[in-house]
Amino acid sequence: MLPFYLSRYGNPHSRTHLYGWESDAAVEEARARVARLIGADPREIFFTSGATECNNIAVKGVMHFYRDRRRHVITTQTEHKCVLDSCRYLQQEGFEVTYLPVRPDGLIDVAQLADAIRPDTGLVSVMAVNNEIGVVQPLEEIGRICREKGVPFHTDAAQALGKIPIDVNQMGIGLMSLSAHKIYGPKGVGALYLRRRPRIRVEPQMSGGGQERGIRSGTVPTPIVVGFGAACEIAAKEMDYDERRVSALQQRLLDGIRSKVDDVVINGSMEHRACTSASLEPSYVLRALGVDEDMAHTSIRFGIGRFTTEEEVDRATELTVHQVLKLREMSPLYEMAKAGIDIKSIQWSQH
Ligand SMILES: Cc1ncc(COP(=O)(O)O)c(C=O)c1O
Ligand code: FES
């Protein structure tokens, strides 16, 4: 990225001089690298500021483009806030939205999805990997159902890119949101995948000079786009290795905690998972899984990545075990639960 900040600072949209051409070539190289990682054509990749922007373009853009015929969107209760907020925005404009529930393992029921599709459904938006609990939705099945019913399938793949293999054709994906900083790339850049055949149209959210084929006006930020391309190239090479390492570290963390602490509960499917995923807020994602409020409050998300070491996992285990045991020592509830008392049955006050 450095040369593109320091010496090769041409505007990639300047067609009349060498500085422009070299920046343009670098942007196109990055586009090809992003495309390669997901089995797409470079012409289907549009650079944006990140997954938030992609999700806005996908959800609002598709519905606005087809607004006269398609009035209904299907999504899930556990999407990232930017998808949920975009859907709320559409509702204020008079569109209808179905928020599919998830099962206790965090995955949607595909039969329920199929039933929810209506003749006026304009978009199905289901995230690939959940950012709190790491579960992977059955993308291929969702893609097949959407293809059969002729509804574009959008997936927020911010947490999936570089972690699980993605093939837009095999998975029947029509639109996909990507973010560079989730794969160790720079912050503030992402890409929208938009299928060419059959072509999916969106109403741009940004008006202006028509860059990125009119989908996203504004000067493309060459240095960070180059960084995103490099991150994709590395992810393609390292994905298998990273996956094995992260799985082993995940197991080490789990075994380490379970060897010293009983009654450990894992939120979300263990089979369909890209990672083990801290928030102190009562999480709406966990509530959607049917996790009780007290259990949602007591959850911790552990994030393990390419640069996490065994020593760090062991230290996290040690700290977690220490604090949990300390809290249990202090709490009368733990002893009561052990004695077989249902804590939920306790009357806390006299009111
Ligand atoms: C699933 C998911 N979608 C979207 C986003 C937003 O991505 P960005 O920071 O690139 O806008 C994130 C990141 O927090 C995410 O985890
Ligand atoms: S969502 Fe899994 S590590 Fe962040």
* Spatial distance between the Cα atoms of 33 and 119, rounded to a whole number of angstroms: 37
Helix pair 310-330, 222-258: axis angle to 10 deg: 50
Handedness of CA 129, 109, 84, 213 (dihedral sign): positive
- The answer as to CATH 3.30.70.100 being correct for domain 2-233 is no
Looking at residue 350, what is its pLDDT? 64
The residue count of the chain comes to: 351
pLDDT confidence of residue 177: 98
CA atoms within 13 A on the CB side of 220: 32
Tell me whether 0.85 is exceeded by the ipTM. no
Q: What are residue 96's DSSP bridge partners? A: 72
Question: How many angstroms from the chain centroid is the CA of residue 266?
Answer: 20
pLDDT digits (tens, 9 = 90+) for 11-31: 999 888 999 999 999 999 999
| Pocket test residue of 80, 127, 139, 178 for ligand 1, highest count of atoms within 8 A of CB | 80
Which pLDDT belongs to residue 343?
78
Backbone phi, then psi, for 253, in 5-degree steps?
-65, -45
The residue whose CA is least distant from atom 1 of ligand 2 is 131
- Tokens standing for residue 74: 């299907």
C-alpha pair distances (Å), 30 with each of 47, 62, 94, 191: 10, 26, 39, 11
Q: How many CB atoms lie within 10 A of CB 338?
A: 11
Q: Which ligand is nearest to the CA of 300?
A: 2
pTM of the model: 0.90
- 176 CA to middle of ligand 1, Å? 12
Q: Report pLDDT for 281.
A: 57
**pLDDT at residue 132, rounded to an integer:** 87
Six-digit token pair at 99? 């928020």
Q: CB of 20 within 8 A of CB of 220?
A: no
Strands (E), the chain: 45-48, 72-76, 96-100, 121-125, 153-156, 175-179, 190-194
Spelled out in words, what is the top-level CATH class assigned to the domain 239-339?
Answer: alpha beta
CB 147 within 8 A of CB 115: no
Low-confidence ranges of the chain (pLDDT < 70): 275-282, 350-351
Rounded to whole angstroms, the Cα distance separating 165 from 184 reads 17
CA distance 38 to 49: 19
Q: Which of 177, 185, 180, 174 is nearest to 150 (CA)?
A: 174
List residues bridging with 135 in a β-sheet: 273
Structure tokens at 318: 């040690």
Residues of the chain with CATH 3.90.1150.10: 239-339
Please give all residues whose beta carbon lies within 6 A of any atom in ligand 2, as ranges.
Answer: 131, 134, 159, 275, 277, 303
| CB proximity list for 90: less than 8 A, separation 6 or greater | 59, 60, 63, 73, 97
Per the structure block, which two tokens stand in for 107? 């995955």
| Residues carrying CATH 3.40.640.10, the chain | 2-233
- Ligand 1 binding pocket (C-beta < 6 A) is 50-52, 80, 82, 127, 131, 156, 158-159, 179, 190
Can 275 be counted among the known catalytic residues? yes
pLDDT at residue number 337: 86
